[in-house]
Structure 1
Amino acid sequence: MSPQKITFGEMREEGYRGIIIYCRDHKCSHSVHMSADRWSDNVRISDVEPLFTCTACGKKGGDIRSDPSTYLKPEKYR
């Protein structure tokens, strides 16, 4: 069992608006960029990772990371 990751709300509080979903198969290395706005603040990233299927190789499960290209400095640090 993989460890619990932060919630989408916590990720947004840190300034990230998007995610990168990587294929779980390191040999495939396929990834896709996506907005994180479709999930509510209380949803854990680790809870949705098993729901993805790689469109390149068909492997179930994804590895979700925050997308640095979508970073906006949070209000609390402005």
Structure 2
Amino acid sequence: MHIPAQKYSKKDVLNDLKYFEIVIESHPLYNDHLDNSKISEIISAEQRNIQEDSISYFQYKVILGKIFYALGCVHT
């Protein structure tokens, strides 16, 4: 269960984003039919934008929302 007041450490969020990027790049559906550079750009921009030691639940949800929007359809 996610608690809206919860904070996520910068290190954990960066690890999640890197893992997410690897999964997208290695999945055949996404690799063959998506412009992965757009998703990589979103992930890179978000990694640079995290300046504090932690981010809020809502900030994390917005980051994931941008990535899912770029994916269009999630099959994994």
Give TM-score, length-normalised by structure 1.
0.30
Q: Which has the higher contact order (CA 8 A, sep 6+)?
A: 2
The structure where helix makes up a greater share of residues is 2
Give TM-score, length-normalised by structure 2.
0.30
